[in-house]
Structure 1
Amino acid sequence: MSERIVVVGAALWHEGRLLVARRSAPAELAGLWELPGGKVEPGEAPDAAVVRELREELGVDAEAGERVPGQWPLRTPYVMQVWTARLRPGSAAPRPLQDHDELRWLTPDRVWDVDWIEHDVPAVRDTLTHLEARDGV
């Protein structure tokens, strides 16, 4: 069996809200929502990938927190891991720089108001459970 490639999703949590991003590309995912993130580069730690991806995709200075327990299958050979993250003091406001055309900060009761990429749904559900247990959201 070939080695799995890890894709990190960032659960960027700020002032009781989760940042979600709407895909603009590729065409089959355009208009659907996801946690921002991307592939872990060879030799890169997953938490470092979270920080790099948030900088590249959203222009923010963030720090990774803890990994949300579990991982979720994407198309072979990819698997998704989710890490909590927070903006560092003085960070610029997030803005869509690549692969996204809109961002929203959603409270836990509004998370399901957007049309998620199907494979992100179980990861988002587990992430909300994790944040609730951690922060009482």
Structure 2
Amino acid sequence: MIKYTICFLKQQTRFLLLNRFHPPTMGLWNGVGGKLEPGEAPLASVLREVLEETGIHLASAEYKGIVSWDLEGESTGGMHAFIAEVPEDVTFATPILVDEGILAWKELDWLLHPDNAGVPENVPLFLPAMLSTTECYQYHFYYKNQRITSHEMTLLSEPITNR
């Protein structure tokens, strides 16, 4: 069962990212999200998490699939992934300190740069696909010694946003 959500908040060519204070991605720039509450649908969870972590009230977010992982041969987790467009008339000055970390706008080129060690190593492997397709996929990553050894992308037959 998938227990987490993540949302990449986009405004034109930039993304609002969170540099987290806590593990598992402590010190890295990543999307905004968190744990699903009991009985909560993934879309409701991600909208709540975005509001709690940024103060931005989103009317909707686009479901983009699942990001999951195996650590040392054991399936240990996953998250429902979303992308949401922040309207151009919404002004959100950064950097800003919040309970979870530091929020700041980062350009897509910076986020996906091959030499960028400041983002989780799987983000440049799944985010471009999420941005370029309307279909939903499961992006599954295999890790050994805390490094990705391989990954696969499988088309989801049915999005799971409201279950």
Q: TM-score, normalised by structure 2?
A: 0.63
1:36-115 to 2 correspondences below 5 Å: 36-73=32-69, 77-87=76-86, 91=90, 93=92, 95-107=96-108, 109-112=109-112, 113=116, 115=118
For 2:29, give the aligned amino acid.
W
- CA 13–47 in structure 1, closer or farther in 2 if over 3 Å, else same: same
Q: Which moved more, 1:63-72 or 1:43-52?
A: 63-72
* Separation in structure 2 between the aligned mates of residue 114 and residue 16 of structure 1, nearest angstrom: 20
* Separation in structure 1 between the aligned mates of residue 70 and residue 60 of structure 2, nearest angstrom: 22
* Separation in structure 2 between the aligned mates of residue 41 and residue 74 of structure 1, nearest angstrom: 23
RMSD: 2.7
| Higher normalized helix content (fraction of residues) | 1
Sequence identity (%) = 25
Larger radius of gyration: 2
Instruction: State how many pairs are aligned.
Output: 126
Structure 2 residues not aligned, in runs of 5+: 135-163
Structure 1 residues not aligned, in runs of 5+: none
| Aligned pair partner of 2:9 in 5, 8, 12 | 12
* 2:22 is the counterpart of 1:21: no
* Separation in structure 1 between the aligned mates of residue 15 and residue 37 of structure 2, nearest angstrom: 25
- In the TM superposition, what is the alpha-carbon distance from 1:74 to its structure 2 partner? 7.0
Question: Which secondary structure does the structure 1 equivalent of 2:92 belong to?
Answer: coil
- CA 60–92 in structure 1, closer or farther in 2 if over 3 Å, else same: farther
- CA 29–84 in structure 1, closer or farther in 2 if over 3 Å, else same: closer
For 2:45, give the aligned amino acid.
A
For 1:128, give the aligned amino acid.
P
* Separation in structure 1 between the aligned mates of residue 110 and residue 88 of structure 2, nearest angstrom: 26
| Higher normalized strand content (fraction of residues) | 2
Q: TM-score, normalised by structure 1?
A: 0.73
Higher relative contact order, chain-length normalized (CA < 8 Å, sep 6+) = 1
